A and B are shown apart, each in its own frame.
Chain A
Amino acid sequence: MKKIAEKYINGVLALALLMYYLIMSWILHRTGYEHSENLFIAEKIKVLLESDEGNLLTLGTTFPSLVFLSSLVFTPFGYLFAPILASIAIITALFYMIISDFKSSSKIQAFVYVPVVTLLFFLHPGLIYAAISGRGVAAILLFFYLVFRSLFRYYQTQTTYYLSMASIYLSCLIFCDYNFLWLLLAFFPFVVLVSLEGLKINKDQPAILQYFQSVNNVSQRRKLANRTVAIYIIIFLLPFGAILLFQVLNQTHAGNSTYFLTSQYANWHVIGNVPIGEVISNGNAKNVTRQSQLLFQAYVLLLNPLLILAFFYYKGKLYELLTLLAPFILISILVINLQYNFTIEYYLIFLILGLLGLTIYGGRKFGKKVTWFLVFSVALLNVFTGIYYFKNTDDAEERTFYLSIKDYKNWLGTKTINEEFEIAAYVSSIATKQNKILIDDAAAFKVIAHLKDLNGVVLPLNKSFITLVENPIAGTRYILIAKNNNVLKTFSVLNAYNFKQMLIQEKFSPEIMFETEHWAVYRIFKYNKEMQIDALNDERLKQTK
């Protein structure tokens, strides 16, 4: 019986975690919380599967590609739910992998790691957020774990297989978040040290002396350089190759090789990343002040005591320790040209790193009971630091998430209907093939995601869109406008400013049909002077600059 329990415990726990996340996602859904990245991906899936035009552009350029493609797999469960299900599945897989790795490393006994890892995945708000927010964080964490796990396995086995796997996973990681390309620089210190390991020099000396010895000998220096370059290339060729390929495809199909990075139609981060200036001007800046060199690293360590514990076990293992430090270097590089507020993924990777570090050497220094006490208390502390993070986050959507979860009294109350849902319901009720509505999904992707279908909707990927923006009356009856207070208005051609310019050019006359705080649906008519004067006198458009 005990053996059977041991055999299936990982599976049972993973299943329980899956159910837990499903319930939590349902609760979150009832509170009306929907992350914009979730809606962005859902909208792209809808466009891909329902639109008659531009499918290839959507499929081939939507970025982060792996987040998009993994969500696509779960489309049968609904467009809106697919990204969430994908995240849940990925985080559950990560959980399963971590407890399996703990089990196979056998340095820490089952009674230590099973409750600790389970505790973290059930209670750490960051991991819950990664699972049920529908963002791409889950995929980032999974591939981040796999990249570093492969590197550590390479150290243990010295087989090229694990270097290749690290390269493959790194490609995947970059296709989940392009910023991880900068690991290229972050990997440099430990790659040099790993190369040093392969040289025939005095291994009893400290690493710095070994390094000195190797660079002052022509033959050894050549070998060191060759091996360093070789390891670098074998790790980074696939990511670079994948990016090159993606750029060529973007060039041939979108006319711009960096379309996937710079277009608001292809990449949520273009609209989703909040500029630091905006965070500060909103007056809520708490975390962002810590996003500078050294402070950020210190804050990360504070938030992830498990990582500090992991470092403790790596004393004297220089290149492995440098491997664990590589993400800190990555962050240093990113901070150099920091323009956006870092969101949860840049903090959570360190928690995952801490767990990975423990799977390799954890539990080697103390007895079972001390280890259990140490690991469990640090993990519990990690849960509290996770809560601390969410209390102080500068990201509005993360804050909303925390409040939605925290306010458990509203969990089972009346389901909250959000603004985009209302607009979408109205658009669905009026748009038909005869009475089309012009929508720019750069800003209105949340609305599109909530639409029943795309019948009667003209989007930028339709060939007629440009013509209709110039002359809406030629093929549409309605137009969805991002109002002045809509934060995404600058990403869209169909915003209040442009709308006013259209009116000034006397292209058509509008009649307001439905509006919410950030959106307005207009019906458009042939030019009528009286209507036009009324419209231009409208308070909404008067404010437009």
Chain B
Amino acid sequence: MNRCVLHKMNEAAVFAEDKLIAVGDIADTYSYAPIKAALNFGFLQRKEYVAFLAKEGYDIIDVRNEEMDKAYIEDCEVSHMNSFLYLPLRKLPSGELLIAVADPFDEKLAVSLTVKFKCPLKFVATSDLDITWMAHTMRGGFFVKEAVFSLMKKDPDSSGLITFTDSQLYFLFGFIGITVAMLILFFKPTFIAINLFSSVFFLFSILFKLYLALTGSKSELHEVVSKEEIKNVNEATLPVYTILLPVFKEDKLIRKLIWNLRSLDYPQAKLDVKLLIEEVDDKTLNAVRNLDFPANFEVIVCPAHQPQTKPKACNYGLHFSRGEYLAIYDAEDVPDSDQLKKVVCQFRKLPDEFVVLQGALNYFNKNENLLTRMFTLEYSYWFDYMLTGLETMDIPIPLGGTSNHFKLKKLIELGAWDPFNVTEDADLGLRVYDKGLKVGVVNSTTLEEANNEFFNWIRQRSRWIKGYMQTYLVHMRNPAKLVRRVGWKGFFGFNFFIGGTSFTFLLYPVLLGFFAMYLIFKWSFVNKLFPDWVLYISIFNFIAGNVLMIYVNMLAVFKRRYYELILFSALNPIYWLMHSRAAYKGLWQLITKPFYWEKTNHGLSKLSSTSQVVTHD
């Protein structure tokens, strides 16, 4: 390693020799400046570093307020500036080029920049975070455009930029028109037909979920990768693993995030962790700046561009990712410590066609309030049973928000995430199948923070349901093509699991209303609209559907031994009404502002993941 500030710190006995060697290796592996490796791989605390520079006579300038000559910056690649942490500012009257750098002692950088700019240089010290911010915001334009439009250019049929295609609109309005006309001309039979269709669909979609849950429960104890295998993994053979952490105004969670990352059982030098921050998100950037312990992630600043969505940030981060595999986590996530090793082992065992593995998600604050309990039940059956069921039946799996592990090359080939889709993960999972590849499930859990506040929950859920609707519309643009790609089983699975989920939530209050009108209020006009046999079928479907859904919720407690939650499953009808509220909000937003990302506030829980670890049985 060439001489740099770390050597000076070593000489001053504030940076250990072994760390110096380790940093050198990382810098060589990733082609980073040593200071970047030290600051981003948990070797050096920013505050300590600033103090050392000050002691050495370097003031830290605020590069954002410096006068700049854009011509010099335009000569530089963003990835190069990002890796070596420099930013050319302007020519000084003395003829020297003023360059802001994170490490003014970096000899190798000095040589390479002298060659590059062919003039004498003058280094001023600045914060690495400010260089990163400036480099990305000023030179990241191309990449951010790629992040937004790449999928649309490469595979326009899979892009959600257009919510409704012309043919979908013709179909939709045609269908509504015919239904209205039929209701005007033949009110009763049309009403009966709609009612029958709705209630049969309701029951069938729940039966399908029950079937999936039962199929999934068959293999609940199946371990593709054993603990022994993980223990015997040769760490030298492990590949570089990129972790993307898209955040927006999550300043309160940064400390937690670092601790969670530190608990991962994976060689630190092989963890390429990217904290993806939006250009406008100074809060999070400052939180990173003010950390009083070393950070183990690299900050990537995503330049402002609409739509301001998580997938756009992830796509942007992909351009700077170095790993063979890539995982997405949220800031508050607590993955099982052996998750990454498990994924690597499982990928090695699975056929090549498996390009994504979905980890199970669950909550560390499950007992916080009623909402978190219901949410925990839902996630438990979804990730522990449903997804396994889908995998077993070879039906497209919609990926969950986090803990997705990809083969990076394949992810790029697929066109990565759709920035116009607000459940880009679900969409990507389906696109994987659409391209003849597969999604698997890894038996490892990531604990998250369950939404514990009603309106926050509605916002989050409305986005998810809107995203499911978007995903459904995108993939049903050409149903025949979808059938060809995923087969009839996949097609029906997709319709009932993705389309059916949203539709069922929209339908639920309507069916509940009819049920209440007839059975509770005994309104006589309902009799006219429900001949005996229709009433029989409707009541059967409605009660059976509700009981089965409660049952599916109850199943959820077994794998994780959350037995104390089982009685809360009985409240599922109320939980579903909340879903319906969110579904109507999502539907409205799908029409009025389809790309709007309803922000979910995190960090509201009064419980911490560590307290959960203690009490977790």
Contact = CB atoms under 8 A, between A and B. Distances in A.
A230 interface: yes
A157 B563 CA distance: 19
B98 interface: no
B269 to A, nearest CB: 38
Contact of A245 (B221, B540, B550): B540
Contacts of B518: 252
B173 to A, nearest CB: 37
Chain A interface extent, by class: 20 to 34
Contact of A233 (B533, B566, B617): B566
Residue of B220, B519, B566 contacting most chain A CB atoms (<10 Å): B566
Interface in B522-570: 532-533, 535-536, 539-540, 543-544, 547-548, 550-551, 554-555, 557-559, 561, 563-564, 566-567
Nearest to B533: A56
The majority secondary structure among interface residues of chain A is: helix
B533 to A, nearest CB: 5
B83 interface: no
Contact of A234 (B221, B539, B548, B554): B554
B551 A237 contact: yes
Contact of B218 (A56, A159, A167, A252): A159
Nearest to A247: B543
B214 interface: yes
B547 A230 contact: no
A167 B555 CA distance: 11
Interface in A297-322: none
Contact of B536 (A60, A160, A163, A198): A60
A543 interface: no
A226 interface: yes
A52 B258 CA distance: 74
Interface string A241-257: 11011001100110000
Contacts of A158: 221
A193 to B, nearest CB: 16
B563 A160 contact: no
Interface residues of B, number: 31
A229 B540 CA distance: 27
Given A161-B220, A244-B547, A229 B563 contact: yes
B402 interface: no
Interface in A199-255: 222-223, 226-227, 229-230, 233-234, 237-238, 241-242, 244-245, 248-249, 252-253
Contacts of A198: 561
Given A159-B217, A241-B547, A253 B532 contact: yes
A10 interface: no
A249 B536 contact: yes
Given A159-B217, A159-B218, A245-B544, A234 B536 contact: no
A60 B559 CA distance: 37
A160 B215 CA distance: 10
A164 interface: yes
B533 A160 contact: no
Given A159-B217, A159-B221, A164-B214, A56 B536 contact: yes
A159 B617 CA distance: 18
Q: Pick the most buried of A56, A161, A249: most chain B CB atoms within 10 A of its CB.
A: A161
Interface in A37-56: 56
Contacts of A253: 532, 535-536
B563 A161 contact: no
Interface in B19-57: none
B547 A237 contact: yes
Contacts of B566: 226, 229-230, 233-234
B21 to A, nearest CB: 45
B532 A248 contact: no
Interface of A: 56, 60, 157-161, 163-165, 167, 198, 222-223, 226-227, 229-230, 233-234, 237-238, 241-242, 244-245, 248-249, 252-253
Sorted nearest first, the 10 A-B pairs with minimum C-beta distance are A241-B547, A226-B563, A161-B217, A230-B563, A160-B558, A161-B218, A160-B217, A245-B543, A230-B566, A226-B564
Given A159-B218, A249-B536, A252-B518, 6 more contacts: A160-B555, A229-B567, A230-B557, A230-B558, A234-B566, A238-B551
Interface of B: 214, 217-221, 518-519, 532-533, 535-536, 539-540, 543-544, 547-548, 550-551, 554-555, 557-559, 561, 563-564, 566-567, 617
12 contacts: A60-B536, A160-B555, A161-B220, A198-B561, A223-B617, A226-B563, A229-B566, A234-B555, A238-B551, A241-B548, A245-B539, A245-B543
